[in-house]
Amino acid sequence: MVRKEINQLLAILEVELKNILRERGTVGFSIFFPILLSLSTYSVGTGILGKPPSLELWFYQLIGFTILMITIVMSASSAWYIRQGLLSRRLEYIFSAPVNPIIIIASISLTSGILGFGIFLTVGLIGVIVTYGLSNLSNFFISLLILIIALIPILGINLIIAAATIIGKEPEAISQPVSAIVSTTSGLAYPITILPFILKIIGESMPYYYAAYYVRSIIEGYFNILSLGNLPFLFLYLIFGFVIYRYFENNYIRKEGAYGI
């Protein structure tokens, strides 16, 4: 049974990756966006200070905006997949098909995660070379491994977003608030220490903050292995997302129907 589900996941993953490769414009924009945004804020800082800030500050925001881009891609992918299923009326076929809907949504999330990893690999590599030269490249490649682990809990959040989209039917109403909360509280554009206490607690309870923190600290060379102690806690999102999705699928979606809301 497990082998069958893995084969189903890989088959869907292959199809979705091929679809992404056809959308080169979207991929190009996803890579260009964090570079453009970080350069814009760097230029504003230069204008305010009257001189260019340190490249480390630009790199800080470059990494943050790249993580934000990955967040937007991952949170929107599940929501829009469900939305397209509602519009084409194929969603009920998915729920009645022998393929578990969770496998389908997990495949979509993994696809967006792979895209996000590619975005970070490209943008991060540019940022490291510009800021530190070749000296920190080994740290950068180590950070890629930690990033993969830190992004896994986001799959649980995607399951919640998918269930909420089926009920609410509008992906923007679900994914955009998530992106807004993440961008505001996760220390992506500015240090989380400047936030009010409540917002700081919210940021430190989500995986996005740790993804950015781990990556930055590893690349910059001040990473402490003890800080990974928070990593097991983040996987509660994966468990929580599975439980929430199952609840809505069994007690709402399958009983009421995707179109009977």
Tens digit of each residue's pLDDT, the chain (261 residues): 566 666 666 666 666 667 666 767 777 878 888 889 888 888 887 877 777 888 888 999 999 999 888 887 777 766 666 666 555 555 554 555 555 666 666 777 777 778 888 889 999 999 999 998 888 888 999 888 888 888 888 878 877 877 777 776 666 667 777 778 888 888 888 888 888 889 889 888 888 888 888 899 889 888 777 667 777 888 888 888 888 877 776 766 555 544 444
Residue 259 included in any domain: no
Give which of 13, 178, 26 is closest to 109, Cα–Cα. 13
Calculate ∠ Cα 157-161-166, nearest 5°.
150
Residue 231 included in any domain: yes
Residue 115 included in any domain: yes
Give which of 8, 171, 189, 157 is closest to 82, Cα–Cα. 171
Residue 123 included in any domain: yes
With 0-12 / 13-18 / 19 or more C-beta atoms within 10 angstroms meaning exposed / middle / buried, residue 229 is: exposed
Give how many domains the chain has, as a whole number.
Answer: 1
Residue 260 included in any domain: no
Residue 261 included in any domain: no
pTM (predicted TM-score): 0.79
Query: Alpha-carbon distance 83 to 70, whole Å?
Result: 20
Within 23-100, where are the H helices? 24-49, 55-88, 91-96
Query: Alpha-carbon distance 253 to 261, whole Å?
Result: 9
Question: Which pair of structure tokens corresponds to residue 197?
Answer: 């206490």
Domain of 247, in residue numbers: 2-254
